[in-house]
Amino acid sequence: MLRSRWFLLACLPLLGACASAPRAPVEIDGQRYETVSDAAHVRIAVSADRPALATARSVAIAPVAMAGTTSDASIAGGQLELVGNSAARAACRELARWFEFPADPAEADVVLTLELAEVRPSNRLAAGASALADVFVPGPFRLPVGLGGLSARAAGTAADATVFDYRWARGARALAEGASVSTIGDAWQLAALFGRDAARELAHQRAPKAERRPQLAEDRRKAGRAWCDARYGKVPLAARGAARLLPLAPEAIDDGEPEERAKSGD
């Protein structure tokens, strides 16, 4: 079980409406973390062994950790799995730009574990009302009530040492996340953002352009993303398009991890 989740859990109450915290290093269990974001709706901190990560060429993604996840009673276990898979899918497809995925995870330079710390539910009735109002209100519209949130962690290990620790907490915004008639509507969307952000941070894409990790050749990127789709599934383009027009629940458009993968437990 991953430890030291107080930073994530402490952030979530701030995600609705609050003043931004001072931009300063964060200390967790004596370890210094860089504050990446301190906006009212998103809190991000990271600790990374950049020299060690710079030499890494391959990554393995461990099963998403959810045993200690805090969530509302309105969110079922299967829904949590869908949120976790959304995070892993996004992380995998983004990592495929820079890293190889070895057939044997034990051969990977870095093993990345994603952990859901807290999943805050969305209000289904408010989402439905937003969808109805959107028919009559010009432009994207959503009632700023009943918004969900997510806090999560990404930890990377190499040679039994933690070389990457990424703490992420974000609340949904009325004009950023679309309404979905599901208690995990916002969390599912935010999980994809978390996975993408964690992957980019692992690849150090906030560095000056000249210092960023170069992308793999196009054929290797395509192969990597095909591997990700086989492992974590893929939401059809038609379903994504329909979800832009209708408040479809993630459960209606995302089948999650392919059944044969889920049964194997790999």
Mean pLDDT for 192-212 is 95
Query: Is it the case that residue 124 has pLDDT exceeding 90?
Result: no
pLDDT of residue 152: 95
Residues in the chain: 266
Query: Is it the case that residue 134 has pLDDT exceeding 60?
Result: no
pLDDT of residue 214: 94
pLDDT of residue 178: 63
What are 103-106's contacts with CB under 8 Å, separation 24+?
A: 105/60, 105/62, 106/60
Query: Is it the case that residue 15 has pLDDT exceeding 50?
Result: no
Q: Which of 85, 61, 70 is nearest to 188 (CA)?
A: 85
pLDDT of residue 29: 74
pLDDT of residue 63: 96
Distance CA 219, CA 10 (A): 43
Query: Is it the case that residue 169 has pLDDT exceeding 70?
Result: yes
Task: Count H helices and E strands in the chain, helices first.
Answer: 9, 8
User: What would the pLDDT profile of 17-65 be if each residue is shown by its tens digit?
Assistant: 333 334 556 777 778 899 999 888 899 999 999 999 999 999 999 999 9
pLDDT of residue 36: 92
Residue 167 has which token pair? 């703490």
Q: For the whole model, what pTM was predicted? A: 0.84
Mean pLDDT for the chain overall: 82
Residue 160 has which token pair? 């039994």
Bridge partners (DSSP) listed for residue 39 = 42
Q: Which is higher by pLDDT, 71 or 7?
A: 71
CB-based burial of residue 245 (10 Å sphere; 0-12 exposed, 13-18 middle, 19+ buried)?
exposed
Distance CA 246, CA 251 (A): 14
Rg, Å, the chain Cα set: 18
Q: Which of 203, 194, 235 is nearest to 87 (CA)?
A: 194
Residue 176 has which token pair? 């950023």
CB 153, CB 164: distance < 8 Å: no
